[in-house]
Structure 1
Amino acid sequence: MIDLERLAKEEKVSDVIAFLVRKEGGYGYPQMDRFFTRHNFSVIGNGEFMRVFEQLRQSGVVEWGDKMLVKKGPNWKEPQFVTDKKYGIE
């Protein structure tokens, strides 16, 4: 089981966003917002999440899909902690 709380607190916001959108279907923006609200509210409260998300979108790491879905962009790369199989990632 993946330790999402530890992942959200120990990794960079940009890497966590890249992790969340890794699947083919993408990840809903509202669900992403709730993920950070639940596991690391400080990045929501200080506006870091929105700033980082917009930077990732502009740099092509993520892109908008249909109905508020966020998908991998052309410049998406797997975060290092996924490769290292940290936090229970298999």
Structure 2
Amino acid sequence: MSIMKAIVLNEKPEEVILFLTKNELGISFPQLDGLYNRASWAHVTDNMGLFNLVKSMCDAGFIKYSGGGIVRGPNWREPAFMVEGKYTLD
């Protein structure tokens, strides 16, 4: 199992989205949707559940839409699993 799939399966979706938006490139919603689709919608019900989560995180300022993608917002924070050093990322 890949590290990314393990993160999606084991971590809260909010934390995963924070991780995916840690750099200025961020992630597009179709890429995020595909990631959760391949993981059988772990921790989210479906793409509308994921959309609603992204919207609530945008409303809270953790992330924002920019240039067709989702990037870190003014209230972005480092995901807990990164602070803990839970995964080895190359």
TM range (shorter): 0.7 to 0.9
Within a 5 Å distance, the mapping from 1:50-65 to structure 2 comes to 50-65=51-66
Within a 5 Å distance, the mapping from 1:34-45 to structure 2 comes to 34-42=34-42, 43-45=44-46
CA RMSD of aligned residues (A): 1.9
Aligned twin of 2:81? 81
Superposed CA offset, 1:15-37 (max 9, x none): 11111111122211111111111
Amino acid at match of 2:33: D
Which structure 2 residue ranges, 5 or more long, are not aligned?
none
Q: Is the Cα contact below 8 Å between 1:62 and 1:71 reproduced in 2?
A: yes
Q: TM-score w.r.t. structure 2 length? A: 0.84
Aligned twin of 1:30? 30
Which structure 1 residue ranges, 5 or more long, are not aligned?
none
For these two proteins, the number of residue pairs brought into alignment is 88
Q: TM-score w.r.t. structure 1 length? A: 0.84
Amino acid at match of 1:37: N
- Report the Cα distance in structure 2 between the residues aligned to 1:7 and 1:31, rounded to whole angstroms: 15
- Report the Cα distance in structure 2 between the residues aligned to 1:40 and 1:79, rounded to whole angstroms: 22
- Report the Cα distance in structure 2 between the residues aligned to 1:36 and 1:24, rounded to whole angstroms: 21
Q: Is the Cα contact below 8 Å between 2:33 and 2:47 reproduced in 1?
A: no
Q: Is the Cα contact below 8 Å between 1:65 and 1:71 reproduced in 2?
A: yes
